[in-house]
Amino acid sequence: MPRFVQGRGAGVSPPWRVHVLYYSMNEKIQSVLNSLPHKPGIYIMKDASETILYVGKAISLYNRVRSYFQESTDLSPKNRSMVAKIEDIEFLVVKNEVEALVLESNYIKQYRPKYNVLLRDDKSYPYIKVALTEDFPRVYRVRSFSRDGNRYFGPYTNSGAVDATLDLLNKLFSFRTCRYDATNWAPPRNGEPPAGWKQKLLARPCTQYYIHRCIAPCVACTTREEYDKIIQQVILFLEGRHDEVVDQLQEKMQAAAENLNFEEAARIRDHIKAVERILEKQRVISTEGQDDQDVIALAGGEDETCAQVFFFRNGKLVGREYFILQGTRESAPGEVMASFFTQFYESSPHIPAEIIVEVEPDDRAVVQAWLKEKRQGAVSITAPKRGDKLRLVEMVKQNAREVLEQQRIKWLSDSQKTQLALEEIQAALNLAAPPYRIECYDISNTQGTNSVGAMVVFEAGRPKNSEYRRFKIKTVEGPNDFASHQEMLRRRFRRQANSEQAATEQQEAPLAIDDTQAEQPLQHEWAMPDLIIIDGGKGQLSAAMAVLQDLHIDVPAVGLAKENEEIFTPASPDPIILPRSSQGLYMVQRIRDEAHRFGITYHRKLRSDRTFKSVLDEIPGIGPKRKQALMKYYGSIKAISSASIDDLAALNGMTRDAAEKVKEYIGRTES
């Protein structure tokens, strides 16, 4: 990892202007903050082992980097976790914001820092390459592109779709697919052939010629000009300019018919019909504009987001692709969109004139300037609020949701991966067998209010939705995850504990029971799990273990901390860290995320019910508008109760009579 020479700044702001948390920094970080310049650039945050945690860009390095350490900054849990690990900060000054954006993208792509939003797959995506620099150009699939005079189309996420497209192209347009060196099949394109040049042709054409998949330039069955026209039609087709392809083919068919070459005319007619069938499919979804457009929408999961892109060319939908971004938990949609823009368009060979998005990317002006520079033409980024463009965005977003769900189901339905994941969990936790039934527990609340517990069940690595359960926390006041977990587990396992105790008492006092009843098996509402996962760290696990031991429930239990995906066990103070590529880690994350999703849905419902129902609903003369005005200004019933009648009456939309009714009713309710 190259080291950067730290730039020298303009000094430190007076202490009454910026309050920095010096107690949370080492001397190295403090010296960096003192030397930060008021210039654009990138900053690189590292941990104690010199691993890059995060790469960011800034208009002013001085303001941006110091904001992470100010008391007034309301950092997200993700950023608080990152800041706690920072042991060193390096920075690099550049000329402007666009250079900072490009440099940030390059570093993220190279080092893939943990706290940046990343495209999930390390692999490069396939492109279709039209090798214009070759004699008699070929059309084939590649894994990367460069600005080398050839044409590239993509990227595509599905290699199978690329192969299907190439096969279709070769059926429609008879270009060569062989790998022969074609430099001696015809004289040079420009100028006279060099001294000693001699045309060298193959002895005979291959099968592709006889099935009308190639016009055989290798045996001089066509000229370079005729072959170039075919390649030009391929490019027009890939660009979505199908109408021009049809016009050219119709002219060619007409010429063949006039020359009485009816067999060739019939073959071209069949090609035209094939292109028109494809064209009809594209007309199902079209836009009114004639410029190229990309439409992008996001669908978020727990820690990953699907970015779906629809490609419109000349008003017609010519393709769509999806990309999965990791590390998006607690990231704002604008931040995720900006990260996708820089990572996708940095390697995209084509940038359209208009990009329609669900939400504008952060630093939109900088991103737009960068795209304009890459395209060498104007680029607009719009987030529509109404009309046809909004309907397009909604359609793309729905597709993104479907992709995310399909990815989850696809992974869960892969029995080989599922079995491998269960075996990895068994080995990591030293279990006697792969856990068949896994139960996961999570608590959701907002500052201690509307606390709910969620229990999800996975059997053989697949969700068993019929046994999911929700628990409305009844005995715990305030934000107490430990006690909430204990209440939920006690309610979950109380029946098993009572049943086992009854069975023990029956065995100890056999004369006190009926023999016929003793032979009947004990019936439980749920089966006992093979593994319990608690959403949380060592503290939550310890609280859960206290309940399990008290109820004599002998089931392996672990805690899964979100911060670093650490797995805690009761027997060891040190967590288990599974590799990021581990199928076992992926499974426990999925189970934990499912518990969180299930719990947060119920919590939001309770919170919504409580938000929209209050004592104000019961006061005559206080309708929705007055209620909204009161709650917006005062924030709570308690604050309204403390306000005077004059203050309430002065509020927009209120009258003195209405204010008196509010005070009287709230006072009566409180008493």
* Nearest by Cα to 394 from 318, 306, 308, 289: 308
- State the CATH class of domain 22-111: alpha beta
More confident residue, 243 or 169: 169
Using the structure block, give the residue that is written with the tokens 């990343």. Answer: 118
More confident residue, 35 or 603: 35
Overall pTM surpassing 0.85 (yes/no): no
Q: Which residues pair with 303 in a beta bridge?
A: none
More confident residue, 282 or 112: 112
User: What's the DSSP call for residue 20?
Assistant: B
Q: Which residues pair with 298 in a beta bridge?
A: 307
What is the phi/psi pair of residue 308, to 5°? -105, 135
> Which tokens hold the place of 596?
């969180």
> Which tokens hold the place of 17?
């202007």
- What is the spatial distance between Cα 594 and Cα 612, in angstroms, rounded to a whole number? 27
* Nearest by Cα to 450 from 476, 432, 411: 476
Count other Cβ atoms within 10 Å, centred on residue 644. 10
| Kind and range of the H or E run holding 306 | strand 304-313
Q: What is the pLDDT of residue 504?
A: 52
Q: Does the domain at residues 615-670 carry the CATH identifier 2.60.120.260? A: no
Band of the pLDDT at 381, cuts 50, 70, 90? very high
Band of the pLDDT at 533, cuts 50, 70, 90? very high
**The Cα angle at residue 313 between residues 122 and 239, in degrees rounded to 5:** 75
Q: What is the pLDDT of residue 189?
A: 76
**Selecting from 3.30.470.10, 3.30.200.20, 3.30.1230.10, 3.30.420.340, what CATH number does the domain 415-506+527-609 have?**
3.30.420.340
Band of the pLDDT at 440, cuts 50, 70, 90? very high
- What is the spatial distance between Cα 403 and Cα 53, in angstroms, rounded to a whole number? 29
**Selecting from 3.40.50, 2.40.40, 3.30.420, 3.30.1370, what CATH number does the domain 293-410 have?**
3.30.420
More confident residue, 375 or 165: 375
Number of H helices, E strands in the chain: 21, 19
Find out whether 61 and 43 touch, Cβ atoms under 8 Å.
yes
Q: What is the pLDDT of residue 251?
A: 83
Cis-peptide, bond into residue 155, ω within 30° of zero: yes
Q: What is the pLDDT of residue 542?
A: 93
Count other Cβ atoms within 10 Å, centred on residue 513. 12
- What is the spatial distance between Cα 291 and Cα 313, in angstroms, rounded to a whole number? 7
| Kind and range of the H or E run holding 64 | helix 61-67
Q: What is the pLDDT of residue 534?
A: 93
| Kind and range of the H or E run holding 305 | strand 304-313
Q: What is the pLDDT of residue 387?
A: 84
- What is the spatial distance between Cα 103 and Cα 58, in angstroms, rounded to a whole number? 11
Residue 516 has pLDDT above 70, yes or no: no
Please give, one letter per residue, the 3-state secondary structure of 574-614. CCECCCCCCHHHHHHHHHHHHHHHHHHHHHHHHHHHHHCCC
Query: What is the arrangement of strands in the sheet containing 316-326, beginning at the earlier edge strand?
Result: 118-119, 316-326, 304-313, 293-300, 354-357, 380-382
Give whole-number Cα distances, 490 to 313, 480, 551, 553, in Å: 60, 16, 8, 10
Q: What is the pLDDT of residue 523?
A: 35
Please give, one letter per residue, the 3-state secondary structure of 105-161. HHHHHHHCCCCCCEECCCCCCCEEEECCCCCCCCEEEECCCCCCCCEEECCCCCHHH
Burial of 456 (0-12, 13-18, 19+ CB in 10 A): buried
Question: Which of 40-49, 262-271, 342-351, 614-623 comes out lowest in average pLDDT?
Answer: 614-623
Find out whether 237 and 310 touch, Cβ atoms under 8 Å.
no
User: Percent of the chain having pLDDT more than 90?
Assistant: 15
Domain ranges across the chain: 22-111, 293-410, 415-506+527-609, 615-670
Band of the pLDDT at 520, cuts 50, 70, 90? very low
- What is the spatial distance between Cα 35 and Cα 33, in angstroms, rounded to a whole number? 5
Question: Which of 150-154, 194-198, 319-323, 518-522 comes out lowest in average pLDDT?
Answer: 518-522
Find out whether 12 and 64 touch, Cβ atoms under 8 Å.
no
Mean pLDDT of the chain: 79
Residue 26 has pLDDT above 60, yes or no: yes
Q: What is the pLDDT of residue 21?
A: 41
Question: Which of 163-167, 205-209, 223-227, 604-608 comes out lowest in average pLDDT?
Answer: 604-608
User: What's the DSSP call for residue 217?
Assistant: G
Residue 543 has pLDDT above 90, yes or no: yes
Give whole-number Cα distances, 350 to 97, 103, 146, 306, 376, in Å: 22, 20, 12, 21, 11
Three-state SS at 556: coil
Q: What is the pLDDT of residue 5?
A: 34
| Kind and range of the H or E run holding 387 | helix 387-413
Q: What is the pLDDT of residue 166?
A: 84
Three-state SS at 311: strand
More confident residue, 310 or 451: 310
Query: What is the arrangement of strands in the sheet containing 151-153, beginning at the earlier edge strand?
Result: 139-142, 127-130, 151-153
- What is the spatial distance between Cα 248 and Cα 260, in angstroms, rounded to a whole number? 19
User: What's the DSSP call for residue 467?
Assistant: G
The answer to whether the 22-111 and 293-410 domains have the same CATH topology is no
Q: Stretch 455-460: mean pLDDT, rounded?
A: 91
Q: What is the pLDDT of residue 544?
A: 93
Q: Stretch 241-249: mean pLDDT, rounded?
A: 75
Three-state SS at 74: coil
Find out whether 530 and 435 touch, Cβ atoms under 8 Å.
yes
Give whole-number Cα distances, 180 to 184, 201, 202, 216, 227, in Å: 10, 11, 10, 12, 16
Q: Stretch 656-667: mean pLDDT, rounded?
A: 84
User: What's the DSSP call for residue 564?
Assistant: T
Residue 24 has pLDDT above 90, yes or no: no
Q: Stretch 470-490: mean pLDDT, rounded?
A: 86
